[in-house]
Structure 1
Amino acid sequence: MTIALTFFLVRRAAVVLGTLCEVKTGIFLRLNVWAKLIHECAEVVRAPRLRDEHYSISVRHAVASVYGARAMRGTAGVSSWRRRAEMRKHALRVADALRAAEAQLDVDPREGAREIARLAMSISSRYAEGRVGALLDRDDLDRAPAAEGRFEAAQLTMTACAISGLALASPALGLPVQVTVATSVAVVALIYRNTIFTGLGAVGFLYPLFFPGK
């Protein structure tokens, strides 16, 4: 919990200071994430023959950049709660559209790559213009089914707390590493359920921090 709270406070402080000091470099760094995704899609479309790596395009980082766009761009003040709430809803729908396009990669890789690139181009262009509440058109949003769960931040916080608890309890109880790892996976499975692979990715990131050298 302490780590999650510290991360949130540091992130908010960086955004506020950046806005007050008009630091534009950090604001536009996320454009590089979307540009990289467009480049990966272009590689798929123009490839004469598809290889295994062409099927591994992921919108994970692009989605994370969309989630943080409303805070980083600074177009709505800290006190503009209603505007920020609307932008958050829009960001969630934009994430749904990106994930729906990503799913097309399993059906038609080239067509899926074209759709992802088209969406990423719109998102990056409108973010640069400050149109954080209209990163995609309504038609693009309506075509994508809404995700069932909206608990990514809560799930990550719960995972961090669970792993930190295991890190503290493991030496005291004398648990071997194998048991600790199995317990971690079981806990993550309960937290993430049908999105277990996302949870395992979080475990892979957090585990070295809590269990260095193991």
Structure 2
Amino acid sequence: MPIIDTLARIHPVTARAHARERLHRRRDTREAAATRHAALDDAITRLGITTTDLPHTRSALTVWESAPHLSSTGNRILLAGVTGAAMFAIDKYVAPPLVDLAMNALGTVAPDFAHQANPALEGMNNGEPWQFSAATMMGQAVVLAVPLAVAALFLLLLSYAVASRHPRWPYSLVDETAKALAQCADLYEAQLTDLRTSSRKVDRRSRAVEQHVLDAYRSSRTIPRRSPRRAPARQHGQLVAAALRRQLTQIDVDPRQGVQDYAALVAEVGERYAEGRVSSLLPEEKLAGLTPPSPALTTFRESLHIAGGIVAAALAAVAAAALLPKLGFIPEDLSPWLIASAAAVAGILTAGWHRVARLIPFFGP
């Protein structure tokens, strides 16, 4: 921060304030790192894993806690500003031709239906009240869904671009493995009544670990884009993801032994990654006879889930906007909140909370 450093050299009061701020930051970092190390020790002890002290994992967690948070106020303001500008550009320049294209496609499939919907669209553009026939609602759904889909796609790409350039990004796999170990320990000690909840948490965390393993050749930032080392590292990550997935299925055979063996694999993957062994996250004997999962198929399925959630949210918003005025007793000030709630619930039920939650940190408090 060169401006603060310059002010610190100019005025002694600024220098003292800057020194106190750095001292508080280092103290908070030490406390956060100590908390993560204690949680890691606790998880390993509860699981009874015969492993090393995981020194590289501890060092990576310390760096993770010392890096600035992606959810800081400045980053959120920047993301909100860029997203707002992008929404304006999408609504003014991108959405109209896409809406026309969608209506032309609708006219090809159902020309009578599209012919009834077009007047409603023209009325909406002129500020006229919404109409609530089936055809006009379809046209209005197209008007809402197309800009929302484009804006959501832009937001996903923007969030990935910002996250992939953040100082924490190379250590995200270690962070996920540490969290996975804690949840595996909860499942290992879970009673029969808590088994369902704990196993679902481990399953959700395993998907995050698997995705970070598949992206390890990129997120580590140790392999240049055009390096010949990139392809072997990517193929190795696919085999490691397959090994983790195979071991995860053993939880349903023997929950305690299965989760213990899975946690041991996760700990080994995190330690080797933190050590810089991107192409040797697991030894070769543990990868024998495995068929790697298809990253393209996994990405396509995730994209379908997200697209389905966006469409469901748009349709729910249109349905709520059509139904609320007919009820008659809903205050007008409350209607936008109910419409947004209906869209959020539909998106969560369709795409899943863990997918919707990826966008929340960029706009939450």
TM-score where L is the length of structure 2: 0.41
Q: What corresponds to 1:85 in structure 2?
A: 231
Query: Which residue of the partner structure matches residue 113 of structure 1?
Result: 259
Hey, what's the Cα distance between the residues in 2 that align with 1:145 and 1:50? 34
Q: Distance in 1 between matches of 2:229 and 2:158?
A: 21
Alignment counterpart, residue 39 of structure 1, candidates 173, 178, 182:
182
Greater Cα radius of gyration, structure 1 or 2: 2
- C-alpha RMSD of the superposition: 3.7
Seen in structure 2, the aligned counterparts of structure 1 residues 53 and 143 have a Cα distance that, compared at 3 Å, is farther
Partner of 1:161: 307
State the SS of the aligned residue for 1:35: helix
The offset of 1:132, in angstroms, is: 1.3
Is the 1:126–1:135 Cα contact (8 Å) retained in structure 2? Answer: yes
Residue 87 to residue 158, structure 1, CA distance change in 2 (3 Å): same
Aligned to 1:69: 216
Residue type of the alignment partner of 1:140: K
Q: Do residues 8 (structure 1) and 151 (structure 2) align?
A: no
Is this contact kept in 2: 1:100–1:145, CA < 8 A?
Answer: no
- Mark the CA change 1:133 to 1:206 in structure 2 (over 3 Å): closer, same or farther: closer
Shift in Å at residue 53 of structure 1? 3.2
**CA deviation map 1:141-192 (0-9, x unaligned):** 2254544785121122233334333444552895999xx99xx89xxxxxxx
Aligned to 1:51: 192
Q: Is the 8 A contact 1:70 1:132 kept in 2?
A: yes
CA 1:153–1:37: 2 relative to 1, 3 Å: same
2:244 corresponds in structure 1 to: 98
Q: Distance in 1 between matches of 2:254 and 2:221?
A: 38
Residues 142 and 200 (structure 1), Cα distance of their counterparts in 2 relative to 1, 3 Å cut:
farther
Runs (5+) with no aligned partner, structure 2: 1-148, 325-338, 360-365
**How far did residue 116 of structure 1 move?**
0.8
Whole-angstrom CA distance in 2 between matches of 1:126 and 1:205? 27
Q: Secondary structure at the match of 2:282?
A: coil
Paired residues of 2:181 and 2:267 also in contact (CA < 8 A) = yes
Residue 38 of structure 1 contacts residue 116 of structure 1 at CA under 8 Å; is this kept in 2? no
Helix, strand or coil at the partner of 1:151: helix
Letter in 2 for 1:102: L
| SS, match of residue 287 in structure 2 | helix
Structure 2 counterpart of 1:27, from 147, 153, 170: 170
**Aligned partner of 1:8: which letter?**
L
Deviations, residues 53-85 of structure 1 (Å, cap 9, x unaligned): 3461322222122123222210111233x5333
1:31 alignment partner AA: V
Distance in 1 between residues matched to 2:323 and 2:216, nearest whole Å:
42
In 1, are the aligned partners of 2:172 and 2:212 still within 8 Å (CA)?
no
Runs of 4 or more consecutive aligned structure 1 residues displaced over 6 Å after TM superposition: none
Deviation at 1:102, TM superposition (A): 1.2
Equivalent residues of 2:210, 2:241 under 8 A apart:
yes
After TM superposition, give the deviation of residue 200 of structure 1 in Å.
6.7
Counterpart for residue 276 of structure 2:
130
Q: What is residue 202 of structure 1 aligned with on the other side? A: 351
Report the Cα distance in structure 2 between the residues aligned to 1:28 and 1:94, rounded to whole angstroms. 18
Between the aligned partners of 2:248 and 2:276, the Cα distance in structure 1 is 25
- Note the C-alpha offset of 1:127: 0.7
The count of aligned residue pairs is 183
